Chains A and B, each alone.
Chain A
Amino acid sequence: MSSNIVFKGSKNGLQLIIDDNVDFDSVLEQLKLKLASASEFFTNGSAQIQVPAANSRFTPEQQTELITLFSHYGLTWLKDNNTGHQEGPVFDESQAVDEQDHPLIISKTVRNGQEIVHQGTIVVQGDINPGAKVIAGGDILVHGTCRGVAHAGAFGNMNATITADRLLATQIRIAGLIARAPDNLDIPECVETARIVDGAVIIEPA
């Protein structure tokens, strides 16, 4: 079964992009599966989600059902105020798929307090500093030093990896697993990759 729904990270939180030709029951079913597989990710209960064009597509009863499902996973539905046509940028499916395929490239240092969320792979051409968070649906590649929190496969992809020239992350998260740096961490001398092997996060030379 191919996926008809896509989570997409944006500046204002998450967006749920739904294929035009899918009925509501199928959407609900896929959504349940996706949210269940990524339940670790939404634990803090403060995440906001937008569903573009929801008012024109779904009946109020269906919308209530969605809200209940979201709240079960700690998500808040940020509704558009306008009832009719949606203003601002409209994300169509082709654009969302595009973004999923293409890596997001960050060509600067990600600093303390900054958070980057992207559906696909994230490439950082710089450092990830302590206190920064990088969350990717796919892999994370750091051409620099990774000292912050890196979360690859954040939407449930257990095969995602984190690779860095110097992997010194305070925490490495892949899908639902969390690994913490040892309290006395030596500076690695080579490029390292973190991945899941037999249900545990391991780090090895790339």
Chain B
Amino acid sequence: MGEVIVVTSGKGGVGKTTTTANIGTGFALLGKKVVLVDADIGLRNLDVVMGLDNRIVYDLVDVTEGNCRLKQALIRDKRYETLYLLPAAQTRDKNAVNPEQMKELCKELAQDFDYVIIDCPAGIEQGFKNAIAGADRAVIVTTPEVSAVRDADRIIGLLESEGKSNPKLIVNRIRPKMVKKGDMMDIDDIIDILAVDLLGIIPEDEYIVISTNRGEPAVANPVSIASTAYKNIVRRLTGENVPLMTLETDDGFFARIKKIFRF
């Protein structure tokens, strides 16, 4: 039985889809069998970020409505043999699926794959409820902005009330220089409010924009800063103990980041 992980945030535009694509590709780089599920019905993006939009024939709603078999809707990635995508429907909306159907779907996928990664839509309505229904664990993505952190807090509360406790946190788009000047929330401030375990931090990286537009997840690029950060996150998700490049050392957070990333 594989593990079902939902990537969620509450707020839009913090990098859920990018994170889903990169974590998924990261697992595939480690040779794991992984499927990405786009739960953002009506506003699908994951297929574009993965560069697989021209291969879609059937989608998630076709599967739940019985128009096709699950295997027919799965798209194999063009670069990695063990990576698959289940795209969202674009002509329907969130109400086309219910949480029970998602649970069934996740269960079925978990039998064939090591990891099922669900890209959750923004918001706390039907789409969110569908996306988290079948998940074993949750990864929360936030950015160092007060609004994103507030929404993340709301999401953690909603996950707890659904019995999904101990979500892990990714802080995306950190700009070390701005944090150093005191112009941006630092990781400690965020953890202090959210009181959850940190899974990793992703520094702001222009290469993410380039890779997203090209449809090639950044994690495969050996020189990208964000790539290293995503690789570490994937290793932590497999249970490996990769030290966080955070504030526990004496020479400080930024000195370590600089060392690791050779700024």
Question: Which residues of A pack against B, CB within 8 Å?
Answer: 108-109, 111-114, 126-127, 129-131, 145, 147
A residues less than 8 Å from B160 (CB atoms): 108, 111
Indicate whether A112 sits within 8 Å of B157 (C-beta atoms), given known contacts A130-B150, A131-B150.
Answer: yes
Interface residue B173 (Cβ < 8 Å from any Cβ of A): no
A residues less than 8 Å from B154 (CB atoms): 111-113, 131
Partner of A130, one of B153, B156, B192, B195: B153
Chain B, 167-194, CB within 8 A of any chain A CB? 192-193
Interface residue B223 (Cβ < 8 Å from any Cβ of A): no
Inter-subunit contact B195/A109 (CB<8 Å):
yes
B residues less than 8 Å from A108 (CB atoms): 160
Q: What are 10 A-B pairs at a CB distance below 8 A?
A: A108-B160, A111-B156, A111-B157, A112-B153, A112-B157, A126-B195, A127-B193, A129-B153, A129-B193, A131-B153
Which chain A residue lies CB-closest to B159?
A: A111
Q: Is the interface of A mostly helix, strand, loop or mixed?
A: loop
Complexed CA–CA distance, A29 and B154 (Å): 41
Question: Which residues of B pack against A, CB within 8 Å?
Answer: 150-151, 153-154, 156-158, 160, 192-193, 195
Q: Is the interface of B mostly helix, strand, loop or mixed?
A: helix
Other A-B contacts than A111-B156, A131-B153, 12 sampled, CB-CB below 8 A, are A109-B195, A111-B154, A112-B150, A112-B153, A112-B157, A113-B154, A126-B195, A127-B193, A127-B195, A131-B154, A145-B192, A147-B193
B residues less than 8 Å from A126 (CB atoms): 195
Complexed CA–CA distance, A107 and B153 (Å): 17
B residues less than 8 Å from A127 (CB atoms): 193, 195
Which chain B residue lies CB-closest to A113?
A: B154
Which chain A residue lies CB-closest to B151?
A: A112
A residues less than 8 Å from B157 (CB atoms): 111-114
Complexed CA–CA distance, A145 and B160 (Å): 20
B residues less than 8 Å from A147 (CB atoms): 193
A residues less than 8 Å from B195 (CB atoms): 109, 126-127
Sorted nearest first, the 7 A-B pairs with minimum C-beta distance are A111-B157, A112-B154, A112-B153, A113-B154, A111-B153, A109-B195, A129-B153
Which chain A residue lies CB-closest to B165?
A: A108
B residues less than 8 Å from A131 (CB atoms): 150, 153-154
A residues less than 8 Å from B153 (CB atoms): 111-112, 129-131
Chain B min CB distance to A109 (Å): 5
